[in-house]
Amino acid sequence: MNILAIGAHPDDIEIFCAGTMAKYGRQGHRLFHAVFTSGNMGDLHAKPADLAATRKAEAQASAELLGAKLIWGGIDDECVYPNEAQRNLMIDILREADPDVILTHSPGDYHPDHRYVGQLVFDAYHQKGLPNIPGPKRPPCRFGLTQVFYMDHPSGINFMPQEYVDISEFIEVKRAMLRKHASQLVSMKEHSDADIMDMLDVMARFRGLNSGCRFAEGFRREEAFHRVKAYRVLP
């Protein structure tokens, strides 16, 4: 299968679904990491253009640990909106990956970039398979065959998973992937005293406690028409 993880920012995939992606990779599936924004506003000192280049290189290094293809959206950080231009970009991302499974942000997440990426995925899902929707990634990809799962919220707040993936074998890979985002580890600590490595561990342990294993990631299914299938695809 083609497995597409779509994060709003560099490091979102690592925090919320890297263990699941690693598990898919072990099973031989093709992996795609789509990062919708450049993350260029998340530092107190670096210029946006310089930070964008750094964060793209970090995202590439992380994706390479899994052999995943990086798809870079390049939208400015904090500037995701459900408009036509960004919907067309999302359509192109979906067409490039032609996914069987999409992992992305929940519409109830705290961050507007996260919520709007989830909305754009939902809207582009239908249009990706329509041949008359223009875009450079033509012909369109398969229509109505993709299952969509929403990733956990930061700290697990206001998110009750429907399905869990045991990532106990892959927790070190998940940690190694997040460590590639060195600029974010420093800036989050500096401007909000947040230790996102610690958050990664606590969330994975908490979801493991929920589901009877050491470490886990939790997801909710998108249950709209065409998204529901009578079989499990999470690893």
Containing structural domain, residue 11: 2-221
- At 145 the pLDDT is 77
Q: In this predicted structure, what is the pLDDT of residue 118?
A: 98
Asked whether residue 122 is assigned to any structural domain, the reply reads: yes
| β-sheet bridge partners, residue 163 | 219
Q: Is residue 234 part of a domain?
A: no
């420093």: which residue's tokens? 186
Give the per-residue pLDDT at 137: 64
Which CATH number do you get for residue 145?
3.40.50.10320
Q: How far apart are CA 9 and CA 184, in angstroms?
A: 10
pLDDT digits 0-9 by tens, 130-169:
888 877 766 666 767 789 999 999 999 999 999 999 999 9
Q: Which two tokens stand for residue 195?
A: 């230790």
Residues 6 or more apart from 203 whose CB is under 8 A from it?
A: 15, 152, 155, 156
Contact 76, 41 (CB under 8 A): yes
This prediction has a pTM of: 0.96
Q: What is the pLDDT of residue 191?
A: 79
Residue 26 is assigned to a structural domain of this protein: yes
Total number of domains constituting the chain:
1
Give a yes or no: residue 235 inside a domain. Answer: no
pLDDT at 26: 98
Residue 228 covered by a domain: no
Residue 202 has, within 13 A of its CA and on its CB side, a CA count of 11
Q: How far apart are the first and last CA of the chain?
A: 11
Domain membership flag for residue 101 = yes
Determine, yes or no, domain membership for 231: no
pLDDT < 50 stretches in the chain: none
Give the pLDDT score at 140. 65
Q: Is residue 232 part of a domain?
A: no
Tokens of 34: 């789509």
